[in-house]
């Protein structure tokens, strides 16, 4: 995988390559430039983020120059576990599972930097590794990409929480990323389950999925669905929507709304155990976490949510402040508690709600029609709702560590894999439940 290079960096690489071919010319380079020590940063952040941080860091620390290597999270760990850790000094990315797995593999050294002014938590979500190996540089909030124009057509207002999306008027107008296929989506499952409980949470997800159109791998496709008006709402993460809004330009109907029950996905930073430039890596991590570095992340063009609360005072009015929202309970989601179950929940979501999605959509529409004409308490309606809402296993079963281990490798962009026996059982159970709902609704038109 090539280095992530901005146009200026590509020119520099080309120049140095030419200089290497002509040693006599290379000796004319300025002594100061030749003495600058490289700091190799492995990241998955896009160039618009990296290039701004690079320019500011090299200005603040002229003794160093950044060398940037780009890897998606699922490719990062093998790269970090290679001999000499592939020359990496710093890993900076938004993938909590990769940081945790790398810690278990002994990849990191202690992050020996000044953390004054950096909280360890937002609500119930940990921002710093309790053993001191990595910490958050910014956070991303989950929520809703909304098209205000389309909501008005449906006589709906901006949704305030997840349950709002079960309203029958949303039928076919919600863009739902498939958790087993879209990397950022699995925590959304657990946000709802923690907020509402296992049984009520799966019932909510089933009804929401009954209103939804599915979005496969490729997070920007959610904003495409909403921005074009094909959907009125899409489930997403804030920085994807911020980027789409910026690209859409003035007058766009696309907006982002944070739900009442939410969680954050932290972008984090760590130092490698075998770093060739330990002081340079430490300097870069310290700069990213400083007031100056955090202000770069919070810049209106990037719209990241910094991990340093003091930065928010200088950001534009109306900027979402997760630390303030957490004071009101908006971020009570415990990401550490949810992490071991993420892959299992995504697999269960797939077998229960995605594989027979078309049939489930039709049944929910028929049930909503039956309830809308005054038959909410009819035994058939109650039976259909129960059948559509019941998950194929209990929370106690889902919390079995042995079962969770079977699904642990199913995240971070992995391709479809052969079904485990448990998934076959879940699928059969869900199909039987759909048959029961169909029987209960027999004779009711959509």
Tens digit of each residue's pLDDT (9 = 90 or more) over 235-249: 999 988 988 887 877
Query: Could you tell me the domains of the chain?
Result: 7-139+264-326 (3.40.190.10)
Q: What is the pTM of this model?
A: 0.83
DSSP 407-422: TTTS-SSPPP-PPPHH
> What's the average model confidence in pLDDT over 260-275?
95
Residues 408, 97: Cα–Cα separation, whole Å: 10
pLDDT tens-place string over residues 91-127: 999 988 899 999 999 999 999 999 999 999 999 888 9
pLDDT tens-place string over residues 26-71: 333 343 445 799 999 999 999 999 999 999 999 999 999 999 999 9
Is the model's pLDDT at 13 over the cut of 50? no
Alpha-helical (H) ranges within 65-119 are: 73-80, 96-104
Contacts of 83 (CB under 8 A, 6+ apart): none
Q: How many C-beta atoms lie closer than 10 Å to residue 317's C-beta?
A: 4
> What's the average model confidence in pLDDT over 220-245?
90
Please give the pLDDT value at position 183. 81
Contact predicate 211/166, CB 8 Å: yes
417 pLDDT band, cuts 50/70/90, is: low
Contact predicate 349/423, CB 8 Å: no
Closest C-alpha to 190, from 26, 339, 54: 339
4 pLDDT band, cuts 50/70/90, is: very low
416 pLDDT band, cuts 50/70/90, is: low
Is the model's pLDDT at 330 over the cut of 60? yes
C-alpha dihedral sign at 191, 195, 197, 200: negative
3 state SS of 117: coil
Residues 325, 329: Cα–Cα separation, whole Å: 7
Give the residues across from 257 on adjacent strands: 144
pLDDT tens-place string over residues 112-168: 999 999 999 999 888 999 999 999 999 999 999 999 999 999 999 999 999 999 999
> What's the average model confidence in pLDDT over 418-426?
92
Closest C-alpha to 260, from 330, 195, 205: 330
Closest C-alpha to 411, from 184, 237, 202: 184
Residues 285, 112: Cα–Cα separation, whole Å: 10
Closest C-alpha to 185, from 222, 148, 156, 212: 222
* Residue 149 tokens, joined: 């124009």
């Amino acid at each position: 995988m090539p280095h992530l290079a901005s146009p200026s960096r590509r020119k520099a690489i080309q120049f140095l390559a030419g200089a290497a071919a002509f040693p006599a010319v290379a000796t004319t380079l300025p002594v100061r430039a030749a003495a600058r020590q490289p700091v190799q940063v492995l990241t998955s952040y896009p160039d618009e983020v990296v290039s701004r941080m690079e320019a500011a860091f090299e200005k603040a620390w002229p003794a160093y120059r950044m060398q940037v290597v780009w890897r998606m999270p699922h490719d990062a760990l093998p790269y970090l576990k290679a001999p000499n850790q592939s020359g990496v000094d710093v890993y900076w990315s938004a993938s909590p599972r990769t940081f945790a797995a790398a810690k278990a593999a002994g990849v990191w050294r202690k992050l020996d930097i000044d953390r004054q002014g950096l909280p360890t938590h937002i609500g119930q979500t940990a921002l710093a590794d309790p053993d001191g190996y990595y910490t958050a540089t910014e956070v991303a909030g989950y929520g809703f990409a909304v098209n205000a124009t389309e909501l008005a057509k449906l006589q709906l207002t901006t949704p305030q929480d997840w349950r709002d999306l079960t309203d029958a008027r949303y039928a076919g107008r919600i863009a739902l990323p498939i958790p087993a296929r879209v990397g950022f989506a699995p925590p959304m499952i657990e946000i709802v389950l923690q907020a509402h409980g296992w049984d009520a949470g799966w019932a909510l997800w089933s009804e929401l999925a009954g209103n939804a159109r599915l979005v496969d791998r490729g997070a920007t496709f959610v904003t495409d669905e909403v921005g074009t008006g094909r959907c009125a709402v899409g489930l997403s993460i804030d920085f994807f929507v911020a980027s789409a809004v910026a690209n859409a330009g003035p007058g766009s109907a696309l907006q982002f709304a944070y739900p009442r029950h939410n969680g954050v996905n932290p972008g984090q930073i760590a130092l490698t155990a075998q770093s060739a430039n330990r002081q340079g890596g430490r300097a870069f991590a310290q700069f990213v976490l400083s007031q100056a570095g955090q202000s770069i992340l919070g810049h209106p063009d990037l719209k990241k949510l910094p991990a340093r609360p003091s930065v928010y005072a200088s950001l534009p009015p109306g900027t979402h402040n997760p630390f303030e929202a957490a004071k009101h309970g908006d971020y009570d989601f415990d990401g550490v508690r949810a992490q071991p179950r993420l892959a299992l929940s995504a697999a269960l979501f797939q077998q229960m709600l995605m594989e027979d999605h078309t049939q489930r959509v039709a049944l929910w529409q028929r049930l909503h029609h039956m309830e809308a004409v005054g038959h909410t308490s009819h035994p058939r309606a109650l039976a259909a709702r129960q059948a559509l809402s019941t998950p194929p296993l209990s929370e106690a079963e889902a919390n079995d560590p042995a079962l969770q281990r079977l699904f642990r490798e199913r995240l971070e962009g992995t391709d479809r894999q052969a079904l485990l026996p448990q998934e076959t059982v879940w699928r059969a159970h869900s199909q039987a439940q759909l048959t029961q709902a169909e029987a209960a609704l027999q004779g009711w038109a959509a």
